[in-house]
Amino acid sequence: MSNARTDLGTEKVSRLLVRLAIPTITAQIVNMLYNIVDRIYIGHIPGEGALALTGLGLCFPVLMLVTAFSSLIGMGGAPLGSIKMGQQDSEGAEKILGNCFTMLSILAVILTVVFRMSGRELLFLFGASEDTIGYALSYLNIYILGTISVMFSLGLNAFITTQGFSKISMLTVVIGAAVNIVLDPIFIFGLGMGVQGAALATIIAQTVSAVWVLKFLFGKKTILKIKKENLKVRASVIFPVLALGLSPFIMTSTESLLNICFNTSLQKYGGDLAVGTMTILSSCMQVCSLPLQGLAQGAQPIISYNFGARNLKRVKEAFRLLFISAVCSSSVIWLIAVFVPRFFPSLFSGDADLIAYASWAVRIYLGMAFVMGAQMSCQQTFVAIGEAKISLFLALFRKIIVLIPLIYLLPNFFADKVFAVFLAEPVADTLAATVTTLLFLRKLRKLSQRTDWVEQQSMP
């Protein structure tokens, strides 16, 4: 077994979490730059930055849908593969990997065709105006050509992380981000391509990342390999993947739906300036959530492997460390939003009106951001132990059951309609974190009562 792979079953959990989490957090921070660097550059285009930024923000639902389908397969398959490895069933884990590779390929083709044919109509549905549709369509038409690269780089990279090769998975993101950050100013400003240059830089970077991932999973160092005999999609293999992946899919895809709801409501009450502010706020939410996802991805192989091995002590210890780290991380973001509200808006725009508006809004929108750590750690642990039904309910609860109705209901109770729309976010965060934590504590008590699990001590 490769020295690059950490021992998920015996190494001290705290040391193991640090070893796995640091690369994944680094990858998520770099991925955050990957996602927002386009907005930073575009927001500072002289004379048209504010409108161009708003147009790019209108593409956000499509970008999130592509990411969501990657999560459906990758985040559904990777934990199951890790559980199989904990059960010493590497052949079963490779069948999952092969089926996921095929499904990612099929979905990428379908999404490319759909978005190419209906892009303009979708953008108007997302809240575009005649002033912003040109920028949005220019970006989207190029970006969707790289859909298959995005699907491979995101969906298959989860199978590298779940084997314990966290440094390799980190490099997937770092390499792509480095290419994107270098190419962005060249294409946007040097060649005068504007938003089209940003899209071109992004798909080139994603293609480089995809090649890196495929080279590793077809290579000699990986434990789980993509093999020809496992590429045929089988219902017995893929249905459990889809069931478990439905939760992270909904978590991500509903970001797209939420963005549409926010944009249409804000366009109604506040116009293009409010919609542009939402682009900044959604970027702020990424700043908050991506480090949390990095922590969760670092903990997932430990939790999944030891859950498969029925070692409850190590599962509980990994969760405890994840919970504490996630709450601390989200609290830092909350402190910045509350006490230095101009920090995030000034990154994305040089427009004084937009910065002032967004500085006011960010304090409302991220007013309860510190509870996100509790919600994320509990919900992702449900995914890591294969609890598809509970994970699905929690994904639906925060966004579909609570947040979206609040976006439309709260303006009926406040004179300041825009304030009411932004207020929906912290109210939903509080309710979701409370329910998720209580459900997880209940699940943990049930696991503790099982007699068929070992309570092995961690190795020093």
| Confidence check: pLDDT of 2 > 50 | no
Q: Give the confidence band of 33 by pLDDT, cuts at 50, 70, 90.
A: low
253, two tokens: 């895809």
pLDDT value, residue 360: 92
Q: Does 5 fall in a domain?
A: no
Looking at residue 45, what DSSP letter applies?
Answer: S
Nearest-10 crossing angle of helices 235-308, 388-396: 100
**pLDDT at 234 > cutoff 80:** yes
Report yes or no on 460 lying in a domain. no
The verdict on residue 453 lying in a domain is no
| DSSP annotation of 225 | -
Q: What is the distance of C-alpha 29 from the center of its chain?
A: 11
Q: Is residue 82 part of a domain?
A: yes
Task: Give mean pLDDT, residues 333-354.
Answer: 81
Query: What is the SS3 assignment for 349?
Result: coil
- pLDDT band per the 50, 70, 90 thresholds, residue 193: confident
* Number of domains within the chain: 1
Residues 58-74 have pLDDT tens digits of: 777 788 888 889 888 98
Residue 318 to residue 301: CA distance in whole angstroms: 10
438 domain-assigned? yes
Burial label, 438 (beta-carbon count in 10 A; 0-12, 13-18, 19+) = exposed
61: left (phi over 0), alpha (psi -120 to 50) or beta: alpha
pLDDT digits (tens, 9 = 90+) for 377-417: 888 888 778 776 787 788 788 888 999 999 999 999 999 99
Angle, vertex CA 411, rays to CA 410 and CA 415, nearest 5: 120
Distance CA 146, CA 169 (A): 20
pTM over 0.85: no
pLDDT of residue 10: 67
Is residue 396 domain-resident? yes
Residue 423 has pLDDT above 90, yes or no: yes
The pLDDT of residue 459 is 40
Residue 369 lies in a domain: yes
- State the DSSP H helix or E strand holding residue 96, giving kind and residue range, or none if neither: helix 90-125
pLDDT tens column, 259-297: 788 888 888 888 878 887 887 887 777 777 777 877 887
For 410, the token pair is: 């709260």
Q: Is residue 1 domain-resident? A: no
Give the C-alpha separation, 11 to 20, whole Å: 12
Distance of CA 145 to the CA centre of its chain: 21
Residue 438 domain boundaries: 13-448
User: How much of the chain exceeds pLDDT 90, in percent?
Assistant: 15
Task: Summarize pLDDT for 236-245 with one digit per residue, the tens.
Answer: 888 888 888 8
